[in-house]
Amino acid sequence: MAAGYRVAVVGATGAVGQEILLILKERGFPVAELAVLADESWDGKQIGFGDEQLTVHTAVPESFQKIDIAFFATSGPVSETLVPEAVKRGAVAIDNSSSFRLKPDVPLVVPEVNPQDVAWQKGIIANPNCSTILFVVPIKPLHDAAHIRRAVVSTYQAVSGAGREAIDELLLQTRQVLDGEAISPRSFPYQIAFNLIPHIDVFGENGYTREEMKMVWETQKILHDPEIRISATTVRVPVFRSHSESVNIETERKLTPDAARRLLAQAPGVVVQDDPASLQYPLPLMASNHDEVFVGRIREDLSSELGLNLWLAGDQLRKGAATNAVQIAELLAGRS
C-alpha cells in the first residue's frame, strides 16, 4: 500500500502500548489510519500520537475491520480472544503475550536473529518474552561462530516489566521506607524497594518459574536449535526501567573474549561497552530509551576451557517489547 497501513494498537493505554505508539511515530512507520484500542474503562478518552490526540475505543472483534496490522500489548486472555478475530478479518496480528509463542505454526521473531521466519506467518507473529529478546540478540552471532552447547543466564529485571502499577509501587515503597512507614506489597509478593525477589511468574513442578522456562523454550525456537541447553534464574530488582543479564555460555569451539568482542561489534542491534580499565560496562540506567542491547564484561570462564562470561543490559519496554514488535511490522511492510 503506497499510502501506508491501517494499524490498530490494542492495549494502547498501557506501558507497552504507549511505547508502540511512540516508536511507530519515531521510526516513521507508514501509518495511513490508526485505531487505538483498550478496555471499556478507556472508551472515549484521548491519548497522544505525536502531535495528534486520538480517541480510545473499546477493543471488540469489529474493531479489526479493514485493519492491516494489529499490535497486541495485552494479557494472554485478551490476546486469545481478540487475536483470532483480527486474523479472521484479514489483519496480521503481532502479539506481545505468551499465548502463541510456542505454537508450532506461529513464528516467534527477533528481527536481528531470525527475520526469515516472518515469511511463514499465517496471520499471527509472536513477540518473544523481553528477557529472551535481550538474551538472543547478542548470543546469536556467538552461536553462529562457535555453536553454544549450554548457557546459564541470571536476569535482573526492572519493575516496569510488571506494568505501570509495579512502577508506582516501587516509587511509593521507596518513599515509605525513607519515611519509616509500613509497607503493604501489592504488585509483588514481598517489598521490592531496597530488596530483590528471585521469583517472576508462577513456579512449576521442576522448581523453575514460568519466566525462566520461557527463556529456555523460546530461545530454542528462535535459534532453531532444540538441543541447546539453557538454565535460567530470573530476579526482580528495584530498578525502574531496563533489564540486565549475567550470561555464561559453553561453546563447541573455542571462542576467545577478543573474538567475541569482534563478532558482537559487527552484530546488528548490539553495542559493545567493554573497557574495565575505564569502568566501561553496560548499565540499565544508560541502556534506557535505547533500542540496542549493550554487552560488556566479556571474559573467559575460569571453570571451563570453552566457557565465556558476559553481561548485558537493554530496555525491555523498547527492544524487549515495543521496538521488536514494530521491527516485525517493518519486515511485513518490506514484503508487501
Residues annotated catalytic, as ranges: 130, 243
Q: How far apart are CA 46 and CA 52, in angstroms?
A: 10
> What end-to-end distance do the CA atoms of the chain give, in Å?
8
Adjacent-strand bridge partners of 271: 294
- Strand runs labelled E in 98-242: 124-126, 148-157, 229-236
3-state secondary structure labels for all residues of 5-53: EEEEEECCCCHHHHHHHHHHHHCCCCEEEEEEEECHHHCCCEEEECCEE
Q: Are 17 and 10 in contact (CB under 8 A)?
A: yes
With both helix axes pointing from N to C terminus, report the angle between 323-335 and 15-26 in degrees, rounded to the nearest 10. 50
Q: Are 20 and 322 in contact (CB under 8 A)?
A: yes
| Amino acid (one-letter) located at 46 | Q
Q: Are 215 and 132 in contact (CB under 8 A)?
A: yes
Q: How far apart are CA 321 and CA 129, in angstroms?
A: 8
Instruction: At 76, list the grid cell.
Output: 494472554
Which among 15, 1, 49, 71 is positioned nearest to 317, based on CA atoms?
15
| Amino acid (one-letter) located at 59 | A
Q: How far apart are CA 287 and CA 243, in angstroms?
A: 9
- From residue 296, give the alpha-carbon distance in Å to each of 164, 197, 254, 309, 320: 30, 24, 19, 9, 18
Q: How far apart are CA 222 and CA 206, in angstroms?
A: 23
